[in-house]
């Protein structure tokens, strides 16, 4: 009896939902748009500077590295988690957010040592992104190369 | 002009992801994984390349661009090396981001402590 | 029926154990909150001079216990049992604190309800004649809880509106068979309830049924109404859980709105990132020690019901899509002069 029956569970879940404050969807989307847009503009500025001096592919590659550095550094300073709290996906979706997801566990688990802490936990959040990205890219490429030539 | 498009496209992708998080109440980790996969699919359909042409870093900086790089790298290497390119191209093309993440991740962990 | 049992699950104490002292140690954010000046010690930063947050939490718990024992005018050697619990795996903060104390130790886990569980068991030990003085304590730390239950502390994610903010605080009480102070009049030990909430960002809703059930049984076991109490404190349901709890009790014909307060809404200035409210073993414990205890002691409040609630999940069970079982214990407390006046 202490584990509520399925019917009661569903009913209670509905009731509980009704007490949830509504998510500020529009405001959140606007914040994500602004912050995400600013980060991407910064990347474009860097890319513009580099592409005047380097081949296009190389300029893109170096832009990515620099943006990762930027995200990593802001995480190190303890700023990026505040940006993320404000902007949600606006901070998480750009590659700087990817850097934050690598640096934050690396810093967090330093006290557990550099092998089992920093290095082992570094890709705790970013690992799934790499795994799913690689696998879906593989699938897409196979389809492109061998099925829909 | 590309600067404006970078702002608009990058911002729009982030806003879209945020709306999905808020409306479906999905864990952001799942949305990030989906974004990379979506980028790969759009790239395979030949839609993401043109977006990069228009918006530049506005399209390559969000995680979808990571998926796009993986696919372009694979396709390039398949053209060069045949089927084995599927195993070399993805990580080659995304190495700058990944290597930077490892190097700077380790470095920041050495230099800084979390502030809570 | 056992001599001191009433109704289905309430225990009464003819010789009421006395809470002779209470002490609290909190982090900087809690120190800036509305109860700031009432806490005994406020740490300057979240590390409290230690190298890790785990060590900081242990230090705060040790400071709180030392203070409580000193305030009671006792020494560790005069304490018969030390009962404590916290949120961390293997309740390390409590065990590591006990390591530095030469007192027989019972480690407890009840998540945020731990201080209720400890006070109940402590009262049983004293009333049963097994102890003269019992030290009970619990602690939580925002950053140790974040890294164990959620994400690394520097990970940039948006908090969900229904989620609760884990408090950095430790508190300790000394229960005695005699002495001056508020008294434990009755205890209702809660059942574990599960109404199928799976969202770890919504612990308030998960715990509300346990709170409602325990309060309902407490009142019906003793034939009382909410008006018999100056206040009924839940600890900590937050905004979302409080609404659900009051609704559930209303369905059973009990209107708690006049006397209900939630300790999770008392400790902070409710900045946006606190979301639904505060939580953690240290929240209800430190609010009790700093605010409710003095008001009872001075007779400003004559009788209160303290109902700490706990969500008994782990990160693993949540990832495996298990729902969140919850518990609540009701502790009825009266002011020192209660005996003479009678009830």
Q: Which residue from C minimizes the CA distance to B29? A: C157
Looking at residue A17, its pLDDT comes to 93
Whether the per-residue pLDDT at B18 is higher than 80: the answer is: yes
Determine the structural domain holding residue B12 and report its residue range: 2-111
Residue A1 pLDDT exceeds 80: no
Residue spans of the domains in chain A: they are 25-147
Alpha helices, H only, chain C: 28-31, 53-71, 92-99, 114-127, 142-149, 203-222, 238-251, 281-287, 293-297, 315-319, 338-341
B50 vs C25: CA distance, rounded Å? 59
Quote the pLDDT of residue A2.
74
From C310, C55, C292, C291, select the one nearest C166 (Cα to Cα).
Answer: C310
Instruction: Determine contact: B1 vs chain A, CB below 8 A.
Output: no
B76 — pLDDT class (breaks 50, 70, 90): very high
Going by their DSSP bridges, the two strands C164-166 and C169-176 should be labelled as unpaired
Query: pLDDT-derived band of residue C172, with 50, 70 and 90 as boundaries?
Result: very high
Residue B11, domain member (yes or no): yes
Mutation target vs C (from B19, B20, B30, B116; most C CBs, 10 A cutoff): B116
pLDDT at B54 > cutoff 90:
yes
Is pLDDT above 50 for A13? yes
List of chain A residues whose C-beta atoms are within 8 Å of the C-beta of residue C151: 104, 125
CATH of span C183-336: 3.40.47.40
* Gap between the Cα atoms of A24 and C131, Å rounded: 54
Put simply, the answer to whether A141 touches B44 (Cβ < 8 Å) is yes
Chain C residues with CB-CB distance to B21 below 8 A: 158
Q: Pick from A63, A88, A103: which is nearest to B21 by CB?
A: A88
- How far apart are the C-alpha atoms of C245 and C232, rounded to whole Å? 12
Element (H, E) at C6: strand C5-6
Query: Which pLDDT value is given to residue C129?
Result: 97
Residue B116 lies in a domain: no
Q: Do residue B115 and residue C53 have CB atoms under 8 angstroms apart?
A: no
A-B CB pairs within 8 A amount to 262
Q: Name the residue in chain A with its Cα closest to that of C245.
A: A16
Contact C152 A15 (CB under 8 A): no
| B114:C158 CB<8 A | no
State yes or no: pLDDT of C340 exceeds 60.
no
Element spanning B77, H or E: helix B63-81
How many angstroms separate the Cα of C218 from the Cα of each of A136, C120, C186, C237?
A: 57, 14, 9, 18
The reply to whether residue A107 touches residue B21, judged by beta carbons under 8 angstroms, is no
The average pLDDT across B50-75 equals 97
Predicted local confidence at residue C342, as pLDDT: 45
Distance from CA of B46 to the nearest CA of C (A): 32
For residue A81, the chain C residues in CB contact (below 8 A) are 153-157
Taking only the tens place, the pLDDT of each residue in C256-267 is: 999 999 999 999
Total structural domains in chain B? 1
Q: Is the pLDDT of residue C66 over 50?
A: yes
Task: Find chain A residues with C-beta within 8 A of C45's C-beta.
Answer: none
> Is residue B32's pLDDT more than 60?
yes
Three-class secondary structure assignment of C183-195: EEEEEECCCCEEC
**A103 close to C (CB below 8 A):** yes
- Asked if A100 contacts C156 with a C-beta cutoff of 8 angstroms, the reply is yes
* CATH classification (class only), C5-176: alpha beta
**Whether the predicted pLDDT of C321 surpasses 50:** yes
pLDDT above 70: percentage of residues in chain B: 100
Whether B60 and A64 lie within 8 Å, measured CB to CB: yes
- Residue intervals in chain C for CATH 3.40.47.40: 5-176, 183-336
Q: Does the pLDDT of residue C246 top 60, yes or no? A: yes
> In this complex, do A21 and C239 lie within 8 Å of one another by their Cβ atoms?
yes
Q: Residue A78 and residue C162: Cβ atoms within 8 Å? A: no
Whether the per-residue pLDDT at C343 is higher than 50: the answer is: no
Q: Which of C4, C11, C103, C16 is nearest to C339 (CA)?
A: C16
In contact, C154 and A75? CB cutoff 8 Å = yes
CB-closest option in B21, B28, B114 to C152? B114
Q: Place C341 in a pLDDT band, splitting at 50, 70 and 90.
A: very low
d(CA C162, CA A17): 10
Q: pLDDT-based confidence at A148, cuts 50/70/90?
A: confident
C-alpha distances (whole Å) from A64 to each of A78, A131, C9, C84, C283 are 21, 19, 63, 50, 44
Q: Is residue B102 part of a domain?
A: yes
Question: Taking 70 as the threshold, does the pLDDT of residue C126 lie above it?
Answer: yes
3-state secondary structure of B116: coil
Does residue B37 lie in a domain region?
A: yes
Q: Does C55 touch chain A (CB under 8 A)?
A: no
Nearest partner of C136 among C74, C61, C48, C200, judged by Cα: C61
Q: For chain C, what is the mean pLDDT?
A: 95
CB C240 to CB A28 under 8 A?
A: no
For residue range C100-124, list pLDDT tens digits in order: 999 999 999 999 999 999 999 999 9
Check residue B28 and give its pLDDT: 84
The 10s digit of each residue's pLDDT in C274-311 is 999 999 999 999 999 999 999 999 999 999 999 999 99
Residue A4: the pLDDT is 82
Please report the pLDDT score of residue B9 as a whole number.
97
Cα–Cα nearest to C253, from C283, C225, C275, C290: C225
């Amino acid at each position: 009896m202490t584990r509520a029956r399925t019917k009661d569970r569903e009913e209670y879940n509905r009731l509980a939902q009704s007490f949830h404050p509504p998510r500020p969807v529009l405001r959140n989307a606007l914040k994500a748009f602004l912050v995400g847009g600013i980060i991407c503009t910064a990347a474009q500025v860097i890319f513009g500077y580099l592409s005047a001096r380097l081949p296009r592919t190389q300029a893109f590659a170096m832009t990515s590295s620099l943006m990762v550095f930027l995200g990593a550094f802001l995480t190190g300073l303890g700023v990026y988690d505040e940006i993320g709290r404000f902007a949600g996906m606006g901070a998480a979706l750009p590659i700087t957010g990817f850097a934050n997801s690598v640096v934050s566990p690396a810093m967090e688990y330093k006290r557990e040592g550099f092998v089992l802490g920093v290095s082992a936990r570094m890709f705790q959040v970013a690992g799934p992104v790499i795994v799913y990205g690689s696998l879906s890219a593989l699938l897409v490429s196979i389809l492109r190369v061998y099925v829909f030539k | 002009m590309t600067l404006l498009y970078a702002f608009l496209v990058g911002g729009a992708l982030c806003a879209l992801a945020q709306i999905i998080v808020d409306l479906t109440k999905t864990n952001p980790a799942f949305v990030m994984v989906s974004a990379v996969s979506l980028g790969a699919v759009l790239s395979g359909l030949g839609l993401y390349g043109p977006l990069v042409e228009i918006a530049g870093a506005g399209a390559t900086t969000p995680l979808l661009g990571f998926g796009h790089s993986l696919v372009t790298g694979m396709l390039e290497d398949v053209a060069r090396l045949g089927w084995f390119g599927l195993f070399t191209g993805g990580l080659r093309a995304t190495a700058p981001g990944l290597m930077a993440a490892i190097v700077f991740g380790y470095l920041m962990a050495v230099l800084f402590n979390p502030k809570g | 029926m056992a001599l001191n049992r009433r109704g289905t699950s309430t225990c009464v104490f003819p010789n009421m154990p006395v809470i002779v002292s209470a002490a609290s140690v909190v982090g900087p954010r809690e120190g800036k909150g509305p109860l700031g000046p009432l806490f005994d010690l406020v740490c300057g930063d979240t590390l409290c001079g230690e190298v890790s947050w785990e060590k900081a939490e242990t230090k705060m718990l040790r400071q709180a216990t030392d203070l409580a024992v000193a305030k009671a005018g006792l020494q560790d050697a005069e304490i018969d049992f030390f009962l404590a619990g916290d949120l961390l795996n293997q309740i390390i903060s409590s065990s590591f604190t006990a390591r530095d104390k030469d007192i027989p130790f019972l480690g407890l886990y009840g998540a945020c309800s731990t201080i209720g569980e400890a006070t109940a068991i402590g009262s049983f030990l004293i009333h049963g004649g097994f102890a003269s003085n019992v030290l009970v304590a619990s602690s939580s730390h925002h950053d140790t809880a974040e890294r164990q239950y959620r994400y690394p502390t520097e990970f940039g994610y948006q908090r969900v509106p229904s989620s609760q903010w884990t408090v950095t605080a430790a508190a300790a009480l000394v229960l005695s068979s005699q002495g001056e102070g508020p008294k434990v009049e009755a205890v209702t030990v809660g059942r574990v309830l599960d109404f199928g909430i799976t969202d770890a960002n919504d612990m308030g809703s998960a715990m509300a049924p346990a709170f409602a059930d325990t309060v309902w049984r407490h009142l019906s076991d003793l034939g009382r109404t909410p008006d018999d109490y100056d206040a009924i404190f839940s600890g900590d349901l937050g905004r979302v859980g409080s609404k659900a709890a009051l609704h559930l009790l209303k369905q059973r014909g009990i209107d708690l709105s006049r006397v209900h307060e939630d300790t999770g809404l008392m400790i902070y200035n409710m900045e946006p990132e606190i979301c639904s409210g505060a939580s953690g073993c240290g929240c209800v414990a430190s609010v009790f020690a700093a605010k409710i205890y003095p008001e009872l002691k001075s007779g400003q409040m004559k009788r209160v019901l303290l109902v700490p609630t706990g969500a008994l999940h782990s990160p693993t069970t949540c990832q495996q899509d298990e729902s969140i079982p919850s518990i609540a214990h009701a502790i009825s407390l009266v002011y020192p002069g209660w005996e003479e006046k009678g009830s």
